[in-house]
Structure 1
Amino acid sequence: MKIQVLSTFLILLFFSCQTKDNQSENSSNELPSYKLETLDSVTVSGILAKIFMFQTADEDHIIFRDGASSDVYLFDRDGNPTDKWDKTGDVPGAFSMSGGNFTQDKNGNLVILDIMSGLKLFKKDGEIVQNFGIYQNQWSLGGAFSHFKTYQVIEKDGKEYLLYSLDIIEEAPDDYDPEFLQTRKNLILTDLETEETQTFLPFPEGSQFLNGNVFVFSDFRPVFSYDEKSQLLYLVFQNEPILFTYDWSGAKPVLKEKAALNLDGFVAGTGFEKGVVSFAKIADYKINPYPSQILNLEKYGDDLLISYKPTPADKGDIAIVMAGEASKELRAKLSEEIKTRTVVLTQKGDIIPLTLPEMNSYNFAVIGEDIWWMKKHTGEEEQEDFTVYRGRLVKE
C-alpha cells in the first residue's frame, strides 16, 4: 500500500513538473515579436550639406536641417524642394549646431531648443514667431547628433509648453555634494506663448541618485515621454534602469509607480565620493569609458520603445582600455558590443528585443504612429542624395 501511494505521488509530481515546464515554455513562446515595416520612402537630391538630418514631417512637408549650420530645407511629400532658409550669425532667431531637432506645435510652427541661444519658434518659411532666451547658461554642448528627441511640445489645460531638461538648471553651487542632488529639479516647462518657465520633478524616492554619492551629469539626464491622452509622464534617467510613471492630470506630476527594467547588458553606476567629479562634468571616460545609457523613450501605441547603449560584459577588456593598452581590434570589438539596442516594453511588462533595419547612425524619430529614419550611406564619395523612410511597428 505504501509503495502504491509513493508511486502515485511520484507520478503526480512528474506531471506537475511537466506542466510547470510547459507553462514556462508557453509563456515564453506567447511573447509577441515586432518588426519595423516600411510604408514608403522619399529621396531628396542635389544636397550640399555637412550633416544633413531629417527633422520632422507633417501632411504637407518633410523638413531637414544641416546639423553643422542653421540651414533648413523644406520638401513636399514627393521630395520636391519648396523652400530653404537659415538663421546664421547676428540675426534675430539665430541658432547653431548646438540646437536640437525641430518639432512642431499644433499650428505647425517649428520649435527648436538651442542650449546656447535659447528657445525659438518659426513659421515654416522661417518667419520668427517667438525668440526666447535660454533658461540657464550651459557649460558644454549637448551630445552627438541623433534623431532621438530631447524635448517635447505638450498641451495642458489648453496651453502649449515645451517640456525639456538642461544639465545646468540651477546656479552653480559653491560645493558639488550629495545635498545638491537631494534638491535638484530635473525638468523644465516653458509656456510657448509667454515664456513663463517653471522647474520641477526632484529625484523620486528610491532613485540611485539619492544614495549619498555624486554623479557625472550625463548619468542623471532625464529621458521622458508624456502621453496627453492618459496624462501619464514616463521617465527614466540615463544611467538608471528604472521606469518612473507619473500621473500628471493635476498641476504637478505625482509618482504612480516605478518598475525595474531588465535591460540586457545594462550596468547602473553607484556614483563617486564627493570631490572625485566636479560640478557639471558630463562624463569621465578615464573612470568609466563605456557607461550604460538609456538614450530614448517613446510611447508607441500601448507600448514603450526604449533605446539604450549597454556596457561590455568583459571587465578585463574595459580595464585594458582604461590602461591605454587596447588594440584597434579590441576597440572595434567593444564598439560592436555597445551599439544602440532598442526594445519594446509591453503593457504587461515584457521586454522584447526589436531588430531594426539598417539605418544611419542618427537612429530614428517617432512622430505619431510613424517611425522615420534615414538610409545609411555606404559609399566613399560625398553624399548628395538622401533617402528617408517612414514605417510602423507591426506584430509578426
Structure 2
Amino acid sequence: MKNRSLYFILALVIFSCQTKDNQFENATDDPPSYWLETLDSVTVKDILVRTFMFQTADSAHVIFKDAASSDVYVFDKAGNPIDQWNKTGDVPGALSMAAGNFKLDKNGNLVILDIMNGLKVFKKNGDIVQNFGIYQHQWSVGGAFSLFKSYQVIEKNGKEYLLYSLDVIDEAPEEYGPEYLQARKNLILTDLETEETQTFLPFPEGSQFLNGNVFYFSDFRPVFSYNPKTQVLYLLFQNEPILYTYDWSGDEPILKEKKTLNLDGFVSNTGYEKGAVDFPKIADYKVNPFPSQILNLEQYGDDLLITYKPTPADKADIAMVISGDASKELKKTLSEEIKKRTVVLTPNGDLIPVNLPEMNPYDFVVLGEDIWWMKKHTGEEEQEDFTVYRGRLVKE
C-alpha cells in the first residue's frame, strides 16, 4: 500500500512539472485515441465508371463524380438516382481531369476549381451559374486524386469567396531563388459573384521557407481551414510542422500564434541551394523519395484534424532506395512505415491518434460535424455498387 502511495505522489509530481513547451506532446506513454463511429450509409448501384468518388452532400442529396471524366451523379439519401450530367469537350463549363472536388455554396450550388479550365459554379442539375476563367495557368500539376480539402467556400462580410492556392500563382521569375520566396503570396481569394481575385499571405517570419534556400513546390503547399464563426484562419505548409493561427476579422489575416507540432516521424526538408531546383518542379522523388507531408487540415468541432505522411526513420534505408539497391522486402517495409496518419489536435495542445477504418484510398471529407468516406474495394471483380459512410469521431 505504501508503494502505491509513493507511485501516486510521484505521478502527480511528474504531471505538475510538465511545461508549456511540451504542450504539443501527449502526456503519457499510453495516450487515448479516437475511432470513427458509423452513423449511417448510402449505397448507389449499377455504376460503371473508372474513378468513382464521393463529393459532397446536403440534407437531401448525395453527389459523386467520376474523377477520370466530367460525369456527375446526384442521388437522394436513399441512393435513388436524381440526375446525371457531364461537361466534356468544347462546351460551356467544360471540366478536365485536373478539376478538384465539388463544394457547396450557401444556395446549394456546386463550386469547383479546375486549374485547366477555371472556376465554375453549377446548379445540381448541371446548369451553369458562373463560368470563370483560371486565375493563373499552371506550369505543372501535382497531387493524386483525393477527397482532402484543397479549397474552401467561405463567407466574409456577407459575400461568398473561394479560398484556395495553386502551386504556381505568379509569373515565372527570371531566377528561382530565395528572393522569390520572400515575395511570394500563398493564398488566393476569388469573389464567387464578380470573379475579383486577390493573392495574399506571405510566408510568416521565422518560416523555414525564408532560410535562404529554395524548395520544391510540394514542400510549401498550404493546407488551411477558415472558421467563419470565430474568423480564425489555421494554416500549415506541407513540409513544415508549424501551425500558424491568424485573426481574419479584418481585411487581412494577422498572425496571432505559431506552434510547432510534435508529429511522430515527421522530418522537415531544409531546402536546397539556389539553382539546384527548377522553378515549377513539384517534387523529385529520386532526390527525396519519402518526403514528410501534411496532407490535410480540418476544423472538427473545437479540435483540428490533421493528416500527414511521415518519413522512414532509418536514413540508410532511404539511401538504398535512392541508389536503387533496396530489395522488394525493404520497399514493402518502408511503404508501411510511411502510411498516412491522422491525429486530433485539441485546444489544450494534445495530439491524439485517430484509428480509421479501411477506406477508399482517396481518403475522407469533413462536412460540418460529420466525416464521410467510401469503403475500400477489396474484390478483384469490377465494382458496380458503391457505399459512402457518414460517421463521427469517438474518443476511446
Q: Which residue of 1 aligns with 2:380?
A: 380
Q: Which residue of 2 aligns with 1:67?
A: 67
The farther-off stretch of 19-28 and 275-284 is: 19-28
The structure 2 residue matched to 1:20, chosen from 4, 13, 16, is 13
Structure with greater Cα Rg: 1
Q: 2:86 & 2:8 partners in 1: Cα distance?
A: 72
Change in 2 beyond 3 A, CA 1:257/1:89: same
Q: 2:158 & 2:255 partners in 1: Cα distance?
A: 23
Contact 2:111 2:122 in 1 (8 A): yes
Q: Write out per-residue CA displacement over residues 230-268 of structure 1, whole angstroms, 9 at most, x where no aligned residue.
A: 000000000000000000000000000000000000000
Report the alpha carbon displacement of residue 395 of structure 1 after superposing the two structures with TM: 2.5
Instruction: Note the residue ranges of structure 1 that are not aligned, 5 or more in a row.
Output: 1-12
Give the TM-score normalised by structure 2. Answer: 0.94
Change in 2 beyond 3 A, CA 1:23/1:276: same
Contact 2:215 2:277 in 1 (8 A): yes
Counterparts of 1:347-358 in structure 2 under 5 Å? 347-358=347-358
Report the alpha carbon displacement of residue 33 of structure 1 after superposing the two structures with TM: 3.3
Q: Which residue of 2 aligns with 1:218?
A: 218
Instruction: Note the residue ranges of structure 2 that are not aligned, 5 or more in a row.
Output: 1-5, 19-25
Q: 1:355 & 1:64 partners in 2: Cα distance?
A: 25
Q: 1:36 & 1:375 partners in 2: Cα distance?
A: 13
Change in 2 beyond 3 A, CA 1:224/1:15: closer
Q: Which residue of 2 aligns with 1:302?
A: 302
Give the TM-score normalised by structure 1. Answer: 0.94
Q: Which residue of 2 aligns with 1:191?
A: 191
Report the alpha carbon displacement of residue 142 of structure 1 after superposing the two structures with TM: 3.4
Q: 1:19 & 1:43 partners in 2: Cα distance?
A: 51
Say whether residues 1:181 and 2:181 are aligned partners: yes
Q: Which residue type is aligned with residue 361 of structure 2?
A: S
Secondary structure at the aligned position of 1:209 is classed as helix
Q: Which residue of 2 aligns with 1:6?
A: none
Change in 2 beyond 3 A, CA 1:285/1:253: same
Q: Write out per-residue CA displacement over residues 155-211 of structure 1, whole angstroms, 9 at most, x where no aligned residue.
A: 000000000001111100010010000000000000000000000000000100000
Q: Which residue of 2 aligns with 1:47?
A: 47
Say whether residues 1:98 and 2:91 are aligned partners: no
Q: Percent identity?
A: 76
Contact 1:45 1:386 in 2 (8 A): yes
Q: 1:30 & 1:354 partners in 2: Cα distance?
A: 14
Counterparts of 1:1-396 in structure 2 under 5 Å? 17=10, 19-21=12-14, 28=28, 32-396=32-396
Secondary structure at the aligned position of 1:200 is classed as strand
Change in 2 beyond 3 A, CA 1:380/1:30: closer
Change in 2 beyond 3 A, CA 1:22/1:176: closer
Report the alpha carbon displacement of residue 121 of structure 1 after superposing the two structures with TM: 0.3
Secondary structure at the aligned position of 1:189 is classed as strand
Q: Write out per-residue CA displacement over residues 298-342 of structure 1, whole angstroms, 9 at most, x where no aligned residue.
A: 000000000000001111110000001122221111111111100
Q: Write out per-residue CA displacement over residues 45-87 of structure 1, whole angstroms, 9 at most, x where no aligned residue.
A: 1001000000000011100000000000010000011110000
Q: 1:235 & 1:175 partners in 2: Cα distance?
A: 28
Report the alpha carbon displacement of residue 20 of structure 1 after superposing the two structures with TM: 1.7
Secondary structure at the aligned position of 1:325 is classed as coil
CA RMSD of aligned residues (A): 1.9
Q: Which residue of 2 aligns with 1:8?
A: none
Q: 1:121 & 1:16 partners in 2: Cα distance?
A: 62
Contact 2:33 2:355 in 1 (8 A): no
Secondary structure at the aligned position of 1:201 is classed as strand
Report the alpha carbon displacement of residue 15 of structure 1 after superposing the two structures with TM: 8.9
Secondary structure at the aligned position of 2:359 is classed as coil
Aligned residues: 385
Q: 1:83 & 1:239 partners in 2: Cα distance?
A: 41
Contact 2:264 2:310 in 1 (8 A): yes
Q: Write out per-residue CA displacement over residues 350-379 of structure 1, whole angstroms, 9 at most, x where no aligned residue.
A: 100111111110110000001000000000
